[in-house]
Amino acid sequence: MFAFLGRILAWIWRALDMLRRVVLTLVFVLVLGLILAFALHPGPSVPDGAALVLRPAGTLVERVRVDDPLGIIRSGGASVAQTSLPDLLEAVRAAREDKRIKALVIETDLLGQGGLSKLAELREAVLDFKSGGKPVYARGERFMQGQYFLASIADEVHLAPDGFVLLPGLARNVSYFKGALDALGVKVHVFRVGEYKSFSEPFTRTDMSDEDRESSRELIEALWKGMREQLAGSRKLAPEALNRYVDDYAGLLQAAGGDAARVARDAGLVDALSQRDEWHELLKARIGEGGDGKDYRRIDADDYLAAVRAATPHEKAHVAVLVAQGSIVDGAADEDSVGGDSLAAQIRAAREDERVKAVVLRIDSPGGSAWASEVIRRELELTRRAGKPVVASMSSVAASGGYWVAAGADEIWARQETLTGSIGVFAMFPEFTEPLARLGVTTDRVATGPLAGTLDPRRPLEPALAKAMQLGVEHSYRRFLEIVAAARRKDIAEVDNVARGRVWTGEAALRLGLVDKLGGIEDAIAAAAKRAQLDRYETVWPTGEVNLRHLLLRRLMSVAGPVGITAESPLARLVTGVQAQAADLLRWNDPQHLYGHCLCDAP
């Protein structure tokens, strides 16, 4: 009997050992395959006389989120796409001088939100490409406003026969939660300085304050004026004609029997209506057939950029571009935030790297933790003291804490469409005593001091603590003013006049002395190189620590093909917006509960 059991156990052991060997072998083969895919995958080649194809997908960002590829697979491939603006700019700039590139083709159907300043910066790069004598062609199945803003710069714009061009203008819609909070019995105590510091108003009001309405109206009118002028100029339209299309779209649509594509063509917004096959046949005629004869001669932006970078010699001197994208939080960052400690460590690493001769900080942030903002600013200041120039480059938003950080630079560049300023500080404290009481939950305490345990949402806010928090906010605001005044070489009173939480466009900020020059990321990089007296240099984009497993899997999946999808329906945008707002609130972790945050989204 025991001998029989022994043979059974021995057989089971051998089976498990064999299974172990098989699993280990499979893992080894998988790892080897990943390494080979990463290292041996042949780089793309650029065909002579090809068109560079731009098909931006999802949101235009300064730094693409590094998703966990295994997580994407587990979720069924549902990953919201992002496209790197710096990559597109680099590709278009290189193609201008590349004799192998004959034309530029823009297809906007996958483009989601981009931020007006990012679209305008890409638009300028395309305009510069055109100045070299090469044609630009663009097509969309339909054009939302941002998509059309990019496509309108083309020499020839095509629209699907059943498509439309939607130009509603700009608006700022804000949700207010006071009614819901009152119904729940939740009190939100707000401490702030600056009548224009509107971030906390959704929790304390049911509508816009007069100050927020005034500031918002001036912002969107200035941005829309610039956007409208650029659109009219690109299409060689009289401003009145474009105004009529925007203001009387329903009337024009009714007169055309509901044919939106015809309305767009008759208004001069597009040059022709074409089906997909007609579009491809047109490009084959204009550019030439590809090697297989099935499509026009072309190369996608990612492949082109990889080929260009592989052929570009490395330089010893580096200009390091660090990206601050998302809300600023204390400690380490995640993929959607700027960690004070994380970014400070990157700045410190650049300062200590002998190859790095200058630093550019690209800011796309509405702010956040005042503590973390100061940690980052201080590292920039130390970098300047070490003899390395620092230039701040503002993207779509660089406000409040984002401006606090920029004050650490030698020089600040912004786009005219950038939202910046919002120099102010606030603190918020929620109180849940009433809703808990409704549930029969009460709180009692013992303490060793009058303020011990008072920063607890289960208890009413003590007047002494409320006073202390307001004093802290006022002190932080004075500190903010001092930092800006020293950086901009202004009196504190002069800074206060343009501060108090007010948001400005980059164009207005230049006029007010809050930024030094208007321009994009490439202008800022050139300025940093000039300050470092560099004739030859290489631009590098440090990303911090990269997980090797993610890197290998991303490489394998790039060989296999994309798995991301773009969710851009109105409902998807609403859900995404609510999720993003909730996620931002959960990230708030300033140790003093002081925040320099701007309630401003780039249009």
**Active site residues per annotation:** 197, 400
| Beta strands in 14-141, from DSSP E residues, in sequence order | 50-54, 59-61, 82-84, 101-107, 136-140
| CA–CA gap between residue 31 and residue 17 (Å, rounded) | 21
Radius of gyration, CA atoms only, the chain: 28
- Cross-sheet strand order for the sheet of 101-107: 272-273, 156-159, 136-140, 101-107, 50-54, 298-300
- 166: helix, coil or strand? coil
> How many CB atoms lie under 10 A from the CB of residue 208?
18
**Can you tell me the distance from the alpha carbon of 262 to that of 163, in angstroms, rounded to the nearest whole number?**
9
Residue 68 three-state SS? coil
3-state SS, residue 368? strand
DSSP state of 411: E
Spatial contact of 417 and 226, defined as CB atoms under 8 Å apart: yes
List helix spans (H) across 176-333.
Answer: 178-184, 201-204, 210-235, 239-247, 249-255, 260-266, 276-287, 301-311
Beta-carbon contacts of 569 under 8 Å, excluding residues fewer than 6 positions away, are none
What is the C-alpha to C-alpha distance for residues 322 and 331, in angstroms, rounded to an integer? 17
DSSP H/E element including 471: helix 463-488
Residues 6+ apart with CB under 8 A from 526: none
Residue 16: what are its φ and ψ, rounded to 5°? -65, -40
CA angle 508, 509, 513 (to 5 degrees): 120
As a 3-state breakdown, the chain gives helix, strand, coil percent values, each rounded to 5, of 50, 20, 35
Question: Taking the CA of residue 603 as centre, how many other CA atoms within 13 Å lie in the half-sphere pointing to its CB?
Answer: 22
Residue 526's H or E segment, with its range, is helix 521-531
User: In terms of Cα–Cα distance, which of 277, 273, 251, 254 is closest to 262?
Assistant: 273
Question: Among 59, 62, 27, which residue's Cα sits nearest to residue 415?
Answer: 62
Q: H or E stretch including 338?
A: strand 337-339
Q: Spell out the alpha helix ranges (H) of 41-52.
A: none
User: Of 121, 84, 123, whose CA–CA distance to 104 is shortest?
Assistant: 123
Beta-bridge partner residues of 538: 318
Cα–Cα distance measured from residue 185 to residue 188, given in angstroms and rounded to the nearest whole number? 10
* Range list of β-strands (E), 373-527: 390-399, 411-414, 419-421, 425-431, 503-505, 517-518
> Can you say how many angstroms the Cα of residue 551 is from the centroid of all Cα atoms in its chain?
21
